[in-house]
Every structure is written in C-alpha cells, then in structure tokens.
Amino acid sequence: MAAHEVAGRSQRILIDLTRTTRAEMTRLREKCVQHGLHAAMVSGPQVPLARETLAGSAVEASGGISTLDHVLSLFEAGADLAGTSAGTRIVEEAVAAEAGAERSGIEGSAAP
C-alpha cells in the first residue's frame, strides 16, 4: 500500500483487482512497484493468483465473506486481510470456537 502524508496523516491507496486477468495483474504489479503501491483487493477465488502475481504486496480478499471458515480458507490461500460486513458475526464465531476448544482440552485432559 502506498502511504503518503496529507495533513500529518498517513494516506493509503487500495487497488480493487476483483475483475482482472493474470496479464492485467502482472502489468498492474509493475506499475505498483514503480509507484510504491503495495496492496490489492481481490475476490476470494482470485486470492491464489493475486498472491502469486503480486508477490510482496498485501492481498485483501473481499466479497461474500460471511463465516469464520471462509475467512480462514482465504488466509490459507494467501490473503493477508479479509474485508467483510459480517465482522461481528465472524468474531463471535471465533470466540465461540476458541471457548469450545478450551472446554474440549480441559475435558480431554481429565480422561485416563
């Protein structure tokens, strides 16, 4: 992401690449490097392509992300960030999953 100072605050630019091809991503990557831009937003299915093509750039996945499993699968595919309007629900899901894992660990350790 390019960061520039405006009125004493850091400003960043995020490029939406949700409908680009590999060739377009490659051309954009060259321009981004030239001008100091280091982030891209892509739809979920494009995450592996963006990670490969835009090496060194932050990759934000967005579009239709509504569950913790979906977020985790995008991270496994190479996304650095996930943009979603379901953030509260996903965080609640993560907290519940963590609490369940802790309970399972405690119960499991008591068994002979």
CATH of domain 2-110: 3.20.20.70
Q: What is the pLDDT of residues 60-111, one digit of tens each?
A: 999 899 999 999 999 999 999 999 999 999 999 999 999 888 887 755 444 4
φ, ψ (nearest 5 deg) of residue 7: 55, 35
Write down the pLDDT at residue 4. 53
In whole angstroms, what separates CA 81 from the centre of its chain? 2
- Between 34 and 61, where is the model more confident? 61
Residues 2/38, Cβ–Cβ less than 8 Å: yes
The first and second tokens of residue 37, run together, are 């831009």
Write down the pLDDT at residue 87. 94
Residue 41, pLDDT > 90, answer: no
Question: What distance in Å separates the CA atoms of residue 75 and residue 6, rounded to the nearest whole number?
Answer: 32
Q: Is the dihedral angle over the CA atoms 70, 72, 73, 78 positive or is it negative?
A: positive
Residue 56, pLDDT > 80, answer: no
pTM above 0.75, yes or no: no
Helix or strand or coil: residue 11? strand
In whole angstroms, what separates CA 95 from the centre of its chain? 19
Question: Which residue matches tokens 């660990």?
Answer: 105
What is the tally of helices (H) and strands (E) in the chain?
A: 4, 6
Residues 5-27, mean pLDDT to the nearest whole number: 73
